[in-house]
Amino acid sequence: MNSKNIYTSFRKAKKAKQKKFAILIDPDKLILKEVDQLVKLATLAQVDFFFLGGSLVVNNQLDAIIESIKAQTSIPVVLFPGSSRQLSYKADALLFLSLISGRNADLLIGKHVESAPFLKISPLEIISTGYILVDGGVPTSVSYMSNTFPIPADKNSIAVCTAMAGEMLGMKLIYMDAGSGAMNPINTTMVQDVATAIDIPLIVGGGIRSPQKALELTKAGADVIVIGNAIEKDLSLLSEVAAAIKSF
């Protein structure tokens, strides 16, 4: 996929009620030699996106992983950065995340100001994304690293108002996340309420471990399902989840 049309593909899919599946790769956890197998399976299963990012990213494999993916497949690579240092010109797009569920000014706008000049001259498609952290039953790295509280799991109205505000501020996507490795994925009722309240595409991730859960959240209104941990542990899940999402 050419750069600059990834957001259009999100919008078109939403309009056509086609659901998308993204695999999250944490460059700290995946070693380069595992990439080939993952990409092969993802291509066969017609996965829609690779999201790349993690809370820390302590190694410098980001560019190498992207190059390796791109050598083998045309599945777009979208950066999902845990910090402003996790940027690479080699990806297709960047989710320009503003942590709108939190009240940490740096993650609402500060880091964005710092990275703006770099992004302005980059070839990346920049997609403004309202990032909403929801309590997934365990403290997550993103909550700790961002020094923010997630929205309580049963406070649907807070999530709805947060997502609506993000849309009204001009954000192009909403990403609801229970955090990587969450014990509980986001409630289907919360996803349903948020999906009903906004018109922009809705990404949902965090703690999804089964095709059934992926389908349930898809039916509730998620436009894109993101899975990281569970696929890292069991690659066979990849094709089952892809089939479940596409069966919608």
Record the tokens describing residue 171, joined without a space.
Answer: 């954000």
| Other residues' Cβ atoms within 10 Å of the Cβ of residue 173 | 25
Check binding of 227 to ligand 1GP (CB under 6 A): yes
Which listed residue (57, 207, 217, 223) binds ligand 1GP by CB under 6 A? 207
Check binding of 223 to ligand 1GP (CB under 6 A): no
Could you tell me which stretch among 97-105, 172-180, 193-201, 214-222 binds ligand 1GP (CB under 6 A)? Answer: 172-180
Check binding of 102 to ligand 1GP (CB under 6 A): no
Check binding of 229 to ligand 1GP (CB under 6 A): yes
Best CA proximity match to 37, nearest among 217, 235, 174: 235
In angstroms, give the least distance from the CB of 204 to ligand 1GP: 8
* Residue number closest to ligand 1GP, CB atom: 205
Check binding of 217 to ligand 1GP (CB under 6 A): no
Check binding of 174 to ligand 1GP (CB under 6 A): no
State the Cα–Cα distance between residues 207 and 230, nearest whole angstrom. 8
Sign of CA dihedral 210, 214, 219, 220: positive
By beta-carbon proximity to ligand 1GP, the closer residue of 5 and 83 is: 83
State the Cα–Cα distance between residues 102 and 148, nearest whole angstrom. 5
By beta-carbon proximity to ligand 1GP, the closer residue of 151 and 230 is: 230
3 state DSSP class of 221: coil
Check binding of 27 to ligand 1GP (CB under 6 A): no
Spell out the residues 6+ positions from residue 92 whose beta carbon is closer than 8 angstroms to its own.
1, 3, 6, 76, 77, 78, 124, 125
Q: Which residues of this chain interact with ligand 1GP, rule CB under 6 A?
A: 24, 177, 179-182, 205-208, 226-230
